[in-house]
Each structure stands twice: as structure tokens, then as C-alpha cells.
Amino acid sequence: MVEVTREFTDDHGEHWYQLSDGDYVLKNAVTLAPSLWRLALEKGQQLVNLHAENINQIWWGMPNGCEPAALLEGLHVKNYAMTFDYLSFLKEMPRAADFNPYHGFGGEPDQDVPGHFEAIFPEPLVEWAKRYAPVTNLSGLPAEEFPLHLQQKKPIVAYVTVGFEQPEWSQYSFGQALSNNHAVLVDGCFGKLLHVSDPIDGRYWLSITDFKTAYNARHWAVEIN
């Protein structure tokens, strides 16, 4: 184990850790839960990593574009929608005229607008994704069952919270929703760890326990088959 002193994003949107000795290491290459990694090694458990790319929505200037970023990461893992980059993919995204994320994307991915909810929830996301690939709405799937799907090389867009913080509920015109809503692509597992490609924080391993803190608020998930 080594001490991490800070995290930063380079000019290409890649996430790095700076170590106490001054060296740098890609965030994707390490885990902050070494005991769980060691336990999985001792048990001889299967490591699965689908090696999804990371689309850094902040680097692209899209503070609210997590769901399309996570979806495109997953489509590319399965070699779908390969002609799209992030910006061209955003142009295809269905918009909700009433700004209701249950009907489509509820605003603009590049800005916050009062009265809008800049997100797209599972049902319209699935309908959009079906233009490019076979997908399944897995909402309700327990986090403990993610590895079964990942072992079949099926990445999953999961609705969580920013930074996997405690869910924060607020009231909107369409009903209650998480004010710290976020989506990531889950593309790997190893024992009690999951690997995510996070459109804000990069690629990293985290414990299923930490994942469930955010995921269990809604149990929303979309699988790319």
C-alpha cells in the first residue's frame, strides 16, 4: 500500500493519482480498497474487466451529460455506435419538451436551467439505446447480481449519485428525484469490488458496499447485450 496525496485530471481528461513519493499512477490501475482486492486474490476469484473507455463529461464541457456518456461507453464496449463520439451522440439524444426526465432528457447537458431537470431516466434511455443495440432495462436488479451479468461481458449503465455520496432527495414538478443524480458504466468485477467508468471521476474500483449506498436508492440499471 502507498499513500495517495491528490487526484487530478490531465489535459486529455485522464484521471491520475499523485503518490507520496512524487510519482504518478493512473487512477484506473489501483484500488483504494486493497483489503478487498487481496481477499479476492486469496479466494482465486475471477477478475472481469471489459476495459471501457472513459468519457469525461466535464472535459467536454457537459456538466449534466452523465447518462449519454455512460451509455456511449457501454455501446462502444460492445462495438455498437462506433461512428459516434460524445458530442455527435448528444445531438441524437431525445429531449423532453416538458423537461421531465421520465420522457427524455430534461434540459441542456452543458448548463443548468431553473425549472429543468438535466437528466434522462431509464425508460427513455432504453428506447434511445435500442436504435443502436439490444439493451435491457434491469431496474430492480440487486447490486450483488451485477457480476453474473459482467461475466457474460454485458456492461451496465447504473444510476447512482455524484461521488457515490448519500442520496439527496428533492421535489420537482414531475415528483421526487435525487438532486445529486448521476450515472456510471459498470464494466468489471473482482470479488466484492466493482469497476466503473465514471463520466466525472474516471475509471476506478470500489466496493459493492460503497456502490450500494448510491445505487440502492433507486435500483435503476440498463444493460447493453
Residues 44 and 55 in one domain: yes
User: What is the CATH classification number for the domain harbouring 130?
Assistant: 3.90.70.10
Q: What is the mean pLDDT of the chain?
A: 94
Could you list the residue range(s) of the whole structural domain that residue 46 is in? 31-224
Residues 4, 94, single domain; the answer is: no
37/14 same-domain check: no
Q: Both 39 and 111 in a single domain?
A: yes
Q: Report yes or no on whether pTM surpasses 0.75.
A: yes
Residue 186 main-chain phi, psi, to 5 deg: -95, 120
- Provide the number of structural domains found in the chain: 2
DSSP β-ladder status, 181-190 and 156-161: antiparallel
What beta strand segments (E) does 35-168 contain?
48-49, 135-137, 156-161
Verify that 99 and 193 share a domain, yes or no: yes
What pLDDT digit, counting tens, does each position of 133-151 carry? 999 999 999 999 999 999 9
CA pair distance 30, 67, nearest whole angstrom: 25
Pair (90, 16) in one structural domain: no
107 shares its domain with 18: no
Judgement on whether residues 2 and 39 belong to the same structural domain of the protein: no
Tell whether 8 and 105 lie within a shared domain. no
Write the pLDDT tens digit of every residue in 174-187.
999 999 999 999 99
Q: How far is CA 16 from the centre of its chain?
A: 18
Both 20 and 128 in one domain: the answer is: no
Question: Which cell goes with 9?
Answer: 485530471
5 has pLDDT over 80? yes
pLDDT for the residue 27? 83
Residue type, 79: N
- Confidence tier at 12 by pLDDT (50, 70, 90): confident
Please give the angle made by the CA atoms of 113, 117 and 120, to the nearest 5 degrees.
130
Same domain, 47 and 81: yes
Q: Are residues 17 and 36 in the same domain?
A: no
